[in-house]
């Protein structure tokens, strides 16, 4: 009887252990990124291959992402800030140093781009997607469109235009319009740019970073300031949309893949970054989201129509007048001051 009872107890214990194993959840990778910034099918593929779950939260500006993290938001593993923001986060000890032994696909990163990159050694970031800003408009509604930031002065488009709700991009557009560097720290130049944006603001429906895509595709907006990838996505929905690269120059940026220092899944985070730089994955992802992943091995896998699109690759003349937004250290406060004045202006 005692032997029988012992066996029953052992069987019950084994069953309890099995039940506990069955309840054990798959590891979860938390990604904090821009909206619509990775192809869903690729997310599903990674989940299947690695037996994990990916949870994606989105932000609409580098500043809001940074503010949320600095305010104490935790639990994120992989984040995709723009390069200038990466420099700030690295300086403040927010990022994990990358283990390149876990990132063999970084050998595919475009060496030409790395000569311009802020973190050229990829010590704590890997380039994810290249983009530039520009203007898009509806050809049937906007007559005499010209490749210039002066389009934002068009009173006939009043209330039907938007600009990005991003201080460096929007102030930068005005700086380029005036012939200044979008990384200037000169107070007089910044004040002049402030006055230009305030003048443009009177013609705008709003500053915003997400709804402009659907807005121009639907015809709610006639001209928008936005990121090239977003504008190409909108163009795929509405063939009436055309892209303008202002001749005065514009910003070229790269959003990077980083791992936060307090990541609970650093190995899985490395695997996800490496997965995104597999050439076939990088090409599929680029074509889906309409941004160019700086992955040399992926270029040959992309359609010529995509690679030759001026919103993907700017003309040499315009490219020569473009700049990368850089972290300005203590002088970032000058841009915050100007942006606050722009937002407060009527």
Taking a C-beta distance cutoff of 8 angstroms, is the pair 164, 225 a contact?
yes
Same domain, 222 and 333: yes
CATH number at residue 165: 3.40.190.10
The verdict on residue 17 lying in a domain is no
**Average pLDDT in the chain:** 92
DSSP for 117-146, please give it. Answer: -TTTT-SS-EEEEEEEEEEEEETTT--S--
Same domain, 140 and 217: yes
Q: Is 274 part of any known ligand binding site? A: no
Please state, as a whole number, how many other Cβ atoms lie within 10 Å of the Cβ of residue 343. Answer: 13
Same domain, 210 and 325: yes
Residue 333 scores a pLDDT above 60: yes
Taking a C-beta distance cutoff of 8 angstroms, is the pair 60, 165 a contact?
yes
CB within 8 Å of 110: residues ≥ 6 apart: 127, 294, 295, 296
Q: Can you give the pLDDT at residue 196?
A: 98
The verdict on residue 15 lying in a domain is no
Taking a C-beta distance cutoff of 8 angstroms, is the pair 207, 169 a contact?
no
* Phi, psi at 267, each rounded to 5°: -65, -45
The verdict on residue 20 lying in a domain is no
Q: What is the DSSP letter of 97?
A: P
Same domain, 55 and 195: no
Residue 244 scores a pLDDT above 90: yes
Q: Can you give the pLDDT at residue 22?
A: 46
Same domain, 211 and 193: yes
Q: Is 167 part of any known ligand binding site? A: yes
How would residue 7 be classed by pLDDT, with cut points 50, 70 and 90?
low
Residue 88 scores a pLDDT above 60: yes
How would residue 2 be classed by pLDDT, with cut points 50, 70 and 90?
low
Residue 20 scores a pLDDT above 70: no
The verdict on residue 16 lying in a domain is no
Residue 5 scores a pLDDT above 60: no
CB within 8 Å of 135: residues ≥ 6 apart: 147, 149, 151, 223, 224, 225, 226, 243, 244, 246
Q: How many domains does the chain have?
A: 2
Taking a C-beta distance cutoff of 8 angstroms, is the pair 231, 302 a contact?
no
Q: Can you give the pLDDT at residue 39?
A: 98
The verdict on residue 179 lying in a domain is yes
Q: Among 152-156, 249-253, 255-259, 314-318, which is the least confidently predicted range?
A: 314-318
Average pLDDT in the 261-283 region? 98
CA-based Rg of the chain, rounded to a whole angstrom? Answer: 24
Taking a C-beta distance cutoff of 8 angstroms, is the pair 305, 299 a contact?
no
Same domain, 166 and 229: yes
CA dihedral 341, 81, 152, 172 (to 10 degrees): 60
The verdict on residue 227 lying in a domain is yes
Same domain, 86 and 206: no
Q: Is 169 part of any known ligand binding site? A: yes
Picking from 178, 180, 182, 186, the residue whose alpha carbon sits closest to that of residue 168 is 182
Letter string b/e over residues 104-114, b meaning 16 or more CB atoms within 10 A of that residue's CB: ebbebbbeebe
The domain in which residue 98 lies consists of 28-130+253-307
The residue behind tokens 């928008």 is 224
Same domain, 173 and 226: yes
Q: Can you give the pLDDT at residue 13?
A: 54
Same domain, 152 and 275: no
The verdict on residue 334 lying in a domain is yes
* Phi, psi at 260, each rounded to 5°: -70, 150
Q: What is the DSSP letter of 104?
A: G
Which range in 10-14, 147-151, 322-326 is most confidently predicted, on average pLDDT? 147-151
Same domain, 328 and 189: yes
Please state, as a whole number, how many other Cβ atoms lie within 10 Å of the Cβ of residue 267. Answer: 13
- Cα gap 16→188, rounded to integer Å: 72
Same domain, 174 and 237: yes
The verdict on residue 2 lying in a domain is no
Q: Among 11-20, 120-129, 294-303, which is the least confidently predicted range?
A: 11-20
Token output for 140: 């049937």
Residue count of the chain, please give it: 346
Same domain, 188 and 260: no
* pLDDT tens digits, one per residue of 126-159: 999 998 999 999 999 999 999 999 999 999 999 9
């Amino acid at each position: 009887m005692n032997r029988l009872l012992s066996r029953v107890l052992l069987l019950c214990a084994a069953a309890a252990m099995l039940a506990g194993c069955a309840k054990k959840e798959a590891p979860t990778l938390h990604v904090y990124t821009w909206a619509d910034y990775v192809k869903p099918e690729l997310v599903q593929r990674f989940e299947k291959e690695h037996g994990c779950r990916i949870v994606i939260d989105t932000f609409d500006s580098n500043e809001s992402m940074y503010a949320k993290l600095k305010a104490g938001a935790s639990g994120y593993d992989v984040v995709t800030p723009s390069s200038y923001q990466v420099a700030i986060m690295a300086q403040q000890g927010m990022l994990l140093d990358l283990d390149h032994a876990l990132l063999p696909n970084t050998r595919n990163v475009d060496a030409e781009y790395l000569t311009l990159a802020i973190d050229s050694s990829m010590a704590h970031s890997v380039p994810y997607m290249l983009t530039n800003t520009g203007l898009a408009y509806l050809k049937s509604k906007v007559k005499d469109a010209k490749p210039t930031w002066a389009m934002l002065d068009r009173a006939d488009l009043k209330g039907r235009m938007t600009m990005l709700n991003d201080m460096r991009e929007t102030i930068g557009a005005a700086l380029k319009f005036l012939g200044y560097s979008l990384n200037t720290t000169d107070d007089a130049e910044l004040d002049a740019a402030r006055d230009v944006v305030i003048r443009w603001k009177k013609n705008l429906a709003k500053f915003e970073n997400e709804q402009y895509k659907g807005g121009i595709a639907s015809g709610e907006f006639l001209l928008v300031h936005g990121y090239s990838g977003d504008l190409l996505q909108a163009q795929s929905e509405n063939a009436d949309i055309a892209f303008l690269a202002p001749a005065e120059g514009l910003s070229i940026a790269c959003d990077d893949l980083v791992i936060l220092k307090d990541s609970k899944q650093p190995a899985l985070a490395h695997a996800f970054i490496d997965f995104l730089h597999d050439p076939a994955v990088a090409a599929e992802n680029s074509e889906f989201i309409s941004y160019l992943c700086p992955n040399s091995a992926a270029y040959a896998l992309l359609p010529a129509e995509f690679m030759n699109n001026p919103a993907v690759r700017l003309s040499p003349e315009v490219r020569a007048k473009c700049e990368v937004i850089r972290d300005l250290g203590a002088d970032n406060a000058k841009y915050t001051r100007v942006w606050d004045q722009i937002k407060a202006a009527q």
